[in-house]
Structure 1
Amino acid sequence: MPILLFLFIFLVFWAYFGYPLSLYLLSYLRRRNVAKAPITPPVTFIITAFNEEKRIREKLENTVALDYPADLLQVVVASDGSTDRTNDIVREYQGRGVVLLEVKDRGGKENAQKEAVAIARGDILVFSDTATIIEPDSLYRITANFADSTIGCVSSVDRVVGRDGKPCGEGAYVRYEMWLRDLEGRVNSLVGLSGSFFAARKEVCRDFSPNMQSDFRTLLNSMRLGLRGVGDTEVIGLYQDVADSSREFDRKVRTVLRGITVFFKNLEFLNPFRYGLFAYQFCCHKLLRWLVPFFLTAALLINAFLAPFSPPYLFLFLLQCIFYLLAVAGWKRPSLARSLAVKLPLYFATVNLAIAVAWVRYLRGNRLVMWTPSER
């Protein structure tokens, strides 16, 4: 049992720290730079929306202000069965180069993206959520990566701020993810893209599926075609923390559930003889991370059994209990979550609880297609 305890603790450590450390050390032996160059390929900018009347105008103003040749830019808003004023607001921008694609029967985000891809004229497709605000020169910056013929897709860097303008618990976690992505791209390829803002070659997006996570699948399609995905630290997607934490929990569950679905439909990427280093990345960043809730539960239960027999085990058990009690305190009293000592345990516990719920739903046969954007 002591061996099992430290094995589970080690696996949690490896999922969050050991894996990044291994990439960091590997970066001294292997570095894959991106041969950027200023290019202006035809671009289709795709925005998916469902009942976004409160935010769509701000997003469209941000989009039409992008600095890119008008004759090379097609803007498509794929409205996924919206029933509010979203479509009417988008029509106001048709004279400014915005195309409204009305998907009459709501079929989910990926289905709307698939419909948009079908009418896209650009060689490079850029996908963005309504809640994400980007900088005016973002298209020049993101397309520069495609001057490198090995690049299949490019992810932005996410930046999350609270309503007070300060980094939130999610923001700290997102910064960790962005740091990890930077390491992955430095040595080989990303394992996932920022679904709120990413770009890909059109040929990578030809087989979008309505029931499979588009950002994850786009990356895997790139690898399958012998290309890779990278993140660009000069391409920023800025969005606010969510207004309703309960809905944000549902979003996390949905995201992981869709990711697990894509993972198990693409187990070929675990083959190191075919995909080399990416197979290791695929296993550590996705599968190992999604197993952390089970490792944490097993470690706590085993530690509880060992605690009465040894002071070191008792001390370790108390540390775990304090960590989870801080998370519960932050959940019960949101005012306490302003402190980083409470904020991080709360977010870590919430993420892993969401992963556990996603596993339960997946094992019950749930394959979520519909999505409702989180209010920010």
Structure 2
Amino acid sequence: MIYLSIIFGVAVVLLTFSFFVYPLCLVIIRAVFFKKRKDSKFDSLPKVMFVFPCCWEGQRIRAKIENTLLLDYPRDKMDVVAISDAASPETISILEEAEKKGGMRIIRNSIRSGKSAALAKALDQCDAEVFVVTDADALLEPSHLKKLVMPFSDSRVGAVTGTIRYENEAQSGISNNEGLYWKFEMVTRKAESLIGMLTGVVGAVYAIRPELFKITDPRLDADFLAPLLALEKKKIVLFLDHIVAKDYSPSSSEALFARRLRTISLGLLSLFKNSRFLNPFRFPMLSWELWSHKILRWLLPVFMLLIFVSNAFMINISVFWFILFCVQVLFYLMGIIGCIIAKFNKKAGILSSIWYFILSSYASMVAFVNVFTGRDFSVWGDTARR
């Protein structure tokens, strides 16, 4: 039984480390080894290429165009580009109408090839100092583009990202689940940003110096690799939570699972194909961050399974182990209830949050299978977007 208790203990320690100890370690490292970065300003704002890939957005793309053209940024320094990734006829019609009015242009991909390929095509035409990426559904406040670009006045800064807020929470029991999970993720990202080594950007809104952003394989996740490529060149990567992209949440558990599955699968594949970042001899700090934040989080279902199974074999040893097992069973039952409530598009507080936690863990497990079996997630499926 000693081996079972060791398995249980190691799994609990690793899970706890990733979610609680790791962010605390970053805060301590920041306080001991890093000086506070001084804010700087441009004498003249840099030219930016502002891109948003689109496919079947339909009427939503109209709101995106209107929102983009209202951004408070000099028009002569803003190259607005909609990248049509084999977009639907309705989407193309709206884009062409906007292009004729001026203020933006279209880059066309006749064959759907995914976001990374679309961004690579835009980068080939980029002559700006800052490359800004947003999603076709993501809307920004007028002042947020300037705020996103301002840190680049420091030549050490390589990439900057904001956060995301879902606007349809009142209609969806799903969005609230992810919102609570995302708030916890924000704690980790803020901690990484304190030392200027953020390991993940928000795909809905980020900016990067184009010379750092080399997309060599469109099958990989460009959003995932963007901060790593900047960190590889010894640049600072920042998370600014006051820059908010407003987006729509998935309307069902199935859609949310599909999105999480795709995100994790692409992240796994991208990291494994660029495994140099996991080498502690080449990238001591970055590799530690990736193992602590990414790998351990992706291994969450393994830890949960080990904790549950090892505990199940020890319930007869003492009341302590029996109570722990009952707590775990209760946890999963609460998740099932949260799932049922989500089917009726209702919020259920902690029950919904537990369901999203379990759903994300299951997505991680399936993602490993996808990566090892070679499934291609470079192009979004319809379910993942709704």
Aligned counterparts, 1:264-283, within 5 A: 264-283=272-291
Assess if the C-alpha contact under 8 Å between 2:341 and 2:348 holds in 1: no
Query: Is the deviation greater in 181-190 or in 236-245?
Result: 236-245
Matches within 5 A, 1:295-334: 295-334=303-342
Local SS of the residue matching 1:309: coil
Partner residue, 1:43? 48
Q: Distance in 2 between matches of 1:332 and 1:195?
A: 30
2:374 corresponds in structure 1 to 365
- Look up the match of 2:112: 106
Distance (Å, rounded) in 2 between the aligned partners of 1:62 and 1:33: 34
> Kindly tell me: are residues 34 and 146 of structure 1, through their superposed partners in 2, closer, same or farther at Cα, counting changes over 3 Å?
farther
Is 2:21 aligned against 1:18?
A: yes
Would you say the 8 A contact 1:212–1:262 is kept in 2? yes
Q: Work out whether residues 35 and 148 of structure 1, in 8 Å CA contact, stay in contact via their aligned partners in 2.
A: no
CA contact (8 A) 2:49 2:80 kept: yes
Instruction: Give, in whole Å, the separation in 2 of the partners of 1:57 and 1:336.
Output: 27
**Which segment is superposed worse, 351-360 or 228-237?**
228-237
Q: Per-residue displacement from partner, 1:2-26 (whole Å, max 9, x unpaired)? A: 1111111111111211211221222
**Match for residue 353 of structure 1?**
362
What corresponds to 1:58 in structure 2?
Answer: 63
2:81 aligned with 1:76, yes or no?
Answer: yes
User: Which among 193, 196, 204 is matched to residue 201 of structure 2?
Assistant: 193
Partner Cα separation in structure 2 for residue 228 and residue 208 of structure 1: 22
- State how far apart, in whole Å, the 2-side matches of 1:324 and 1:233 are: 32
Counterpart of 1:134 in 2: which secondary structure?
A: coil
Written as runs of structure 1 = structure 2, the 5 A alignment for 1:196-211 is: 196-211=204-219
| Residue pairs, 1:225-244, within 5 angstroms | 225-244=233-252
Deviations 1:72-125 (A, max 9, x none): 000000010113311110111112311111100111111111111112231100
Corresponding residue to 2:349 among 340, 354, 363: 340
Sequence identity, in percent? 28
Q: What residue in structure 2 maps to residue 164 of structure 1?
A: 170
Aligned partner letter, 2:349 = L
Taking the aligned partners of 1:325 and 1:31, their CA distance within structure 2 comes to 45
Is 2:159–2:230's contact at 8 Å kept on the other side of the alignment? yes
Choose the corresponding residue for 2:98, options 69, 85, 93: 93
Q: C-alpha displacement at 1:238, in angstroms?
A: 1.8
Aligned residues: 376
2:292 aligned partner: 284
Q: CA RMSD in A?
A: 1.8
- From 114, 135, 140, the counterpart of 2:141: 135
Query: Contact 2:163–2:241 (CA<8 Å) still a contact in 1?
Result: yes
TM-score by length of 1: 0.95
Q: Which moved more, 1:148-157 or 1:240-249?
A: 240-249
C-alpha change, 1:32 and 1:247, in structure 2 (3 Å) is farther
**1: CA distance, partners of 2:126 / 2:225:** 19
Kept in 2: contact 1:160–1:174 (CA 8 A)? no
Q: Which stretch has the larger CA shift, 236-245 or 123-132?
A: 236-245
Alpha-carbon distance in 1 for matches of 2:186, 2:171: 19
Q: Deviations over 1:289-332 (max 9, x none)?
A: 11111111111011111112211011001111111111111112
- TM-score of the two chains, using structure 2 as the length reference: 0.93
CA contact (8 A) 2:116 2:220 kept: yes
Q: Which amino acid aligns with 1:127?
A: V
Question: How far apart, CA to CA, are the structure 2 residues paired with 1:337 and 1:301?
Answer: 32
3-state SS, counterpart of residue 85 of structure 1: helix
Partners in 1 of 2:153 and 2:271 — Cα distance?
29
8 Å contact from structure 1 (residues 43, 122) kept in 2: yes
Cα distance in structure 2, aligned partners of 1:305 and 1:109: 47
Task: State the partner residue of 2:156.
Answer: 150
Inter-CA distance 165–35: structure 2 relative to 1 (3 Å threshold): farther
Q: Give the 3-state SS of the residue equivalent to 1:29 in structure 2.
A: helix
Q: State whether residues 217 and 262 of structure 1, in contact with CA within 8 Å, keep that contact through their aligned partners in structure 2.
A: yes
The 3 A distance-change label for structure 1 pair 139 and 362 is same
Contact 1:161 1:171 in 2 (8 A): no
**Matched residue type, 2:338:** G
Contact 2:341 2:347 in 1 (8 A): no
Shift of 1:177: 1.5
Task: After superposition, give the CA deviation of every residue in 1:164-221 in whole Å (9 maximum; x if it has no partner).
Answer: 1897111111122222111101024101100111000010123353111111111111
Structure 2: any 5+ residue segments left out of the alignment? Answer: none
How much does 1:160 deviate?
2.8
Cα distance in 1 for residues equivalent to 2:88 and 2:165:
30
Aligned to 1:2: 5
Letter in 1 for 2:241: T
Shift of 1:137: 1.1
CA separation in 1, counterparts of 2:37 and 2:215?
Answer: 26
Instruction: Pick which of 193-202 and 160-169 moved more.
Output: 160-169
Q: Which moved more, 1:139-148 or 1:265-274?
A: 265-274
